[in-house]
Amino acid sequence: MNLKFVRPKISDLVFQLHAGPAHPELFRTYAEGLVRHEDRALIIKITDSSHVLCWGGKDRWLTEIAASARQPLPKHRRLLAYRLKGERTDQVGWRGVLYRMSFQVERVEPEIFLHLDDELSRDGEKHGLFYRFGTTNRLFPAPLSLVQVQSAAGSLLVQAFHTFPAECAIVKTQSLFETTAKPQATGERMRGSGGA
């Protein structure tokens, strides 16, 4: 564990979706997992900011990135980009894939945060990709990340939880990767809602 680890502030984070795989050298990875589903794979990386999800196979890849806005991220083939604040939902059709996302930043009182952190920690020890970072504050638990995957015919649902103890906040994301019977046009936006 990195005892000097400090997560970026939530206000510094962005949430993006890219057509194509992510370059591994862009991110410092603390935990990594692989889920094979039908003829595709999901690569999960827990990073210092939160996570990177790379889903696809052969020549079709979608990459979801939640990272610091200060980190140089590619603009080429970017399908979605939001500041990570409040709540947001959106979806995109791309090359026979329907991608749906939602995120929420939840700020709570310190005692509620400690309870939620304990629940996530216990859940993470049972299933999912889980990582507890080092701490710099003896009064609060260290940040944690938990990514869980559920599969069904033609789809993968990914739920991620990232704690930010200094802000008594939890970032929750949910992503659905679904193959569609009829291919959508590349990067076709379908609809969106949520905070700015």
Q: What is the per-residue DSSP string for 60-77?
A: EEEEEEEEETTS----TT
Residue 115 DSSP symbol: H
Count: domains in the chain? 1
Whose CA is closest to 12, among 80, 52, 70?
70
Given this model, what pLDDT does residue 117 score?
A: 96
Q: Is residue 194 part of a domain?
A: no
Distance CA 148, CA 129 (A): 6
Q: What are 133's two structure tokens?
A: 């970072």
Q: What are the tens digits of pLDDT across the range 22-72?
A: 877 888 999 999 999 999 999 999 998 899 999 998 888 999 999 998 888
Q: Is residue 137 part of a domain?
A: yes
Whose CA is closest to 101, among 172, 45, 168?
172
Q: Is residue 187 part of a domain?
A: no
Percent of the chain exceeding pLDDT 70 equals 89
Given this model, what pLDDT does residue 145 score?
A: 97
Bridge partners of 98, per DSSP, are 93, 178
Distance CA 65, CA 32 (A): 14
For residues 10 and 167, is the Cβ–Cβ distance under 8 A? yes
Q: Is residue 50 part of a domain?
A: yes
For residues 191 and 90, is the Cβ–Cβ distance under 8 A? yes
**Regarding beta strands 169-179 and 87-94, do their DSSP bridges make them parallel or antiparallel, or are they unpaired?**
unpaired
Given this model, what pLDDT does residue 194 score?
A: 40
Q: Is residue 107 part of a domain?
A: yes
For residues 19 and 62, is the Cβ–Cβ distance under 8 A? yes
Q: Is residue 32 part of a domain?
A: yes
Whose CA is closest to 142, among 160, 121, 171, 112?
121
Given this model, what pLDDT does residue 134 score?
A: 86
pTM of the predicted model over 0.75: yes
Q: Which domain holds residue 93?
A: 10-182
For residues 5 and 166, is the Cβ–Cβ distance under 8 A? no
Q: Is residue 87 part of a domain?
A: yes
Low-confidence residues of the chain: pLDDT under 70:
1-5, 136, 181-196
Q: Is residue 189 part of a domain?
A: no
